[in-house]
């Protein structure tokens, strides 16, 4: 089995590139069907989703736009805790269907914050499309409509996902070896 070492941890291949791309294909077909004539705006969440967003978007067969946002975390006051600010959204999203493109939904907290923020800008609707979902870790009520792959509760890297900034360039997805 092929393994890689990133910083101090050993990782083994868990989802090969061909499998990932087959699922991306399936999602792109489904989304193209569901949003026919609706002019959706895809919104990739940086950094992790850049590779998935590129592979997904080039398979979309209907007219659509894509943009990217970044979530900047900073410590708020003791009462508010960690605040995530949405930066980089210059498009007017009023009245448009938005498809958020994420690398992974873990606890779901990040996604919920983003949905709340976008909701204040009056889009027609907000949909969530994620490459990976860890169903066991999900701790907020969240309707994740489009999921490429469900995975167990282990730390993974590759295909855009990182361990301390490294591993994003791996073509396959790797799971940490305990
Ligand atoms: P959540 O708010 O707990 O859903 O966290 C989502 C974010 O945590 C993702 O966008 C990733 O950046 C990061 N994350 C969660 N699990 C993993 C993992 O297994 N590998 C790499 N990043 C992860
Ligand atoms: Mg992310």
Per-residue pLDDT tens for 93-113? Answer: 999 999 999 999 999 988 999
Distance CA(69)–CA(67), nearest Å, equals 7
Nearest ligand, CA of residue 113?
1
* 19-73+83-149 classified as CATH 2.60.40.10: no
Question: Residue 178's pLDDT is what?
Answer: 82
Question: What is the pLDDT averaged over residues 107-129?
Answer: 95
Nearest ligand, CA of residue 163?
1
Bridge partners of 150, per DSSP, are 133
Question: What is the pLDDT averaged over residues 32-43?
Answer: 98
User: Over 90: is that where the pLDDT of 20 sits?
Assistant: yes
Helix (H, G, I), strand (E, B) or coil at 177: coil
Question: What is the pLDDT averaged over residues 67-78?
Answer: 75
Residue with the smallest CA separation from ligand 1 atom 10 is 104
Distance CA(46)–CA(18), nearest Å, equals 23
Residue 143, number of CB atoms within 10 A of its CB? 8
Determine contact, residues 45/71, Cβ cutoff 8 Å: yes
Determine contact, residues 159/52, Cβ cutoff 8 Å: yes
Catalytic residue among 8, 25, 34, 106: 106
What is the percent of the chain where pLDDT is above 70? 94
């Amino acid at each position: 089995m092929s393994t890689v070492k990133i910083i101090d941890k050993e990782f083994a291949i868990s989802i090969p590139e061909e499998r990932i791309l087959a699922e991306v294909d399936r999602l792109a077909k489904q989304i193209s069907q569901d949003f026919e004539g609706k002019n959706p705006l895809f919104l990739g969440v940086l950094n992790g989703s850049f590779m998935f967003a590129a592979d997904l978007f080039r398979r979309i067969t209907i007219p659509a736009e894509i943009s990217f946002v970044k979530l900047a975390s900073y410590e708020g006051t003791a009462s508010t805790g960690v605040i995530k600010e949405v930066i980089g959204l210059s498009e007017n999203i009023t009245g448009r269907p938005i498809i958020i493109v994420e690398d992974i939904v873990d606890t779901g907290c990040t996604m919920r914050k983003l949905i709340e923020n976008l909701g204040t800008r009056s889009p027609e609707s907000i949909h969530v499309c994620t490459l990976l979902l860890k169903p066991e870790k999900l701790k907020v009520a969240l309707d994740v409509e489009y999921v490429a792959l469900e995975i167990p509760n282990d730390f993974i890297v590759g295909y855009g996902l990182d361990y301390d900034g490294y591993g994003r360039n791996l073509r396959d997805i790797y799971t940490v070896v305990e």
